[in-house]
Amino acid sequence: MKTVYINSVCSISSQKTFDNSEFLDEIIYHEDNLIPVVNPNYKDYISPSESRRMAKGVKMGVAASKIALKDANLDTVDAIITGTGMGCLRDSEKFLGALIDNDEQFLTPTSFIQSTHNTVGGQIALNLQCKGYNFTYVHSSISFESTVLDAKLMLENNEANTILIGGVDEIGDYTAKLHQIINHIKAEKTSTSELLNSKTEGAVFSEGANFFVLSNEKQTSSYAEIIAISTYNTLGNSKISDLAKSFLDENNLDIDAIDMVVLGNNGDVTFDGFYNELSSGLFKNTQQVYYKHLCGEFMTASSFGVWLASKILKTQKLPEIVKLNNLKDSNFKTILLYNQYRGENHSFTLLRKC
Amino acid sequence: METLKQELKENIVEQLNLEDIAVEDINDNDILFGDGLGLDSIDALELIVMLDKNYGIKLSDPKEGRAIFESIEVLAKYISEHRTK
């Protein structure tokens, strides 16, 4: 089987991360329960005639894909695999809103066409004129992990040499209100620096697009090697520590081999216990990193974690803002990522310096 | 008629999200589709819905649209002659 490398990255998030020459050099401190992304100038990546029908998520996805391809020094790829938990929410809300407002009359086609979950993958393919494998995973908070798994299997088996993968989700105003009503979004505004001390229900929501070019051929500019990924819809009677241990065993690694663990804590007092179990138990002597205080929570927020880990492995720099403890500040070789959302869809991802 | 033309230009720019085109950039006799304003078949569907919703005009034959949507001038004339609301 071939080895799988992350050859390029691009993140559009609520931090200024789309510029690959920087790495969290300037932190934007938010104080809200719904935080916006820092937009690149989309006109640099998408022509006005193309962008006029694109909602935010599509624009983020297309722009991120172009930056990732440029970072990999490629014009196109063999396959495109996208992950989205909620799809194109804004156009879905627009279409369904019009359906109700106009008593099922006068339905316009644009928002309906653009509301499908695979709109981002389709628009990227049109843009690149890529007629290869194109797939969109809509698996809640393991949508992005599903893209990684699919791409990894294809590359390992040499079914493709370069694959663009990405996770993208956008905020929809109406859906956000529903999430607030059911306390999935925090009732109170929360500051970036105080997220994990909030001790309240819900998360700070956001949106974003994180794209990567994966390949079975290493480049001098490669960021990391993807060793393994596993997802678990529910834990059953297992403890997360046991699953973590089993995952490492399957990959012939012990705890000491992990230089850093990247955790998806989102400050939700009801569900952060899964992360706390790992950080105070198995990995209490491991450098711990978190990131959702920077990018917010969304169904594919874990792709920001992979962006962060990739940048750390390539640059060997650990920004102060992401440290949960202070045990190691150099020589990062192997990073374990763990994410879950509301006690479901747990995932472990293992990256290695290359 | 001038008010209707202005209204049509504003609706076209807003509803079709013509990001780089202002209302004042559209002349009454500019060709709307193809090489003119650059509208396409999806825009034609949007305009058919707009005619129905705003002016009570139902186009039963989509081929009619080819002539009706030639320019703001032609469209405004057709609407003023056929509108039911």
Same fold, A4-215 and A228-352: yes
| For residues A39-67, average pLDDT | 95
Q: Is residue A120 predicted with pLDDT exceeding 90?
A: yes
Residue A31's identity, in one-letter code, is E
Question: Right CATH number for B2-82 from 1.20.210.10, 3.30.1490.20, 3.40.50.720, 1.10.1200.10?
Answer: 1.10.1200.10
The percentage of chain A sitting over the pLDDT mark of 70, rounded to a whole number, equals 100
Residues B11-70 have pLDDT tens digits of: 999 989 998 889 999 999 999 998 888 899 899 999 999 999 999 999 877 778 889 999
* Mean pLDDT value across chain A: 97
Residue of B nearest to A108 (CA): B46
Q: How far apart are the first and last CA of chain B?
A: 15
| For residues A220-229, average pLDDT | 97
Q: Which residues pair with A203 in a beta bridge?
A: A185
pLDDT, residue A107, reads 87
pLDDT, residue A70, reads 97
Query: Predicted ipTM?
Result: 0.82
Q: A52-67 burial string, b = 16+ CB within 10 Å, else e?
A: bbbbbbbbbbbbbbbb
> Contact B65/B44 with Cβ under 8 angstroms?
yes
- φ, ψ for residue A327 (rounded to 5)? -110, -20
What fold is seen in the domain A228-352? Peroxisomal Thiolase; Chain A, domain 1 (3.40.47)
Flag if A52 and B49 touch (Cβ within 8 Å). no
Cα–Cα distance measured from residue A35 to residue A70, given in angstroms and rounded to the nearest whole number: 28
**pTM summary value:** 0.94
pLDDT band at B1 (very low <50, low <70, confident <90, very high): confident
Flag if B18 and A110 touch (Cβ within 8 Å). no
Cα–Cα distance measured from residue A336 to residue A229, given in angstroms and rounded to the nearest whole number: 10
B35 touches chain A (CB under 8 A): no
Domain map of chain A by residue range? 4-215, 228-352
pLDDT, residue B65, reads 82
Q: Domain A4-215, CATH 3.40.47.10 — does that match?
A: yes
How many Å lie between the alpha carbon of B18 and the closest alpha carbon of chain A? 6
Residue of A nearest to B46 (CA): A108
Pairwise pLDDT comparison (A221 vs B66), residue with the higher score: A221
- C-alpha A229, offset from chain centre: 14
How many Å lie between the alpha carbon of B44 and the closest alpha carbon of chain A? 10
How many Å lie between the alpha carbon of B61 and the closest alpha carbon of chain A? 16
pLDDT, residue A213, reads 98
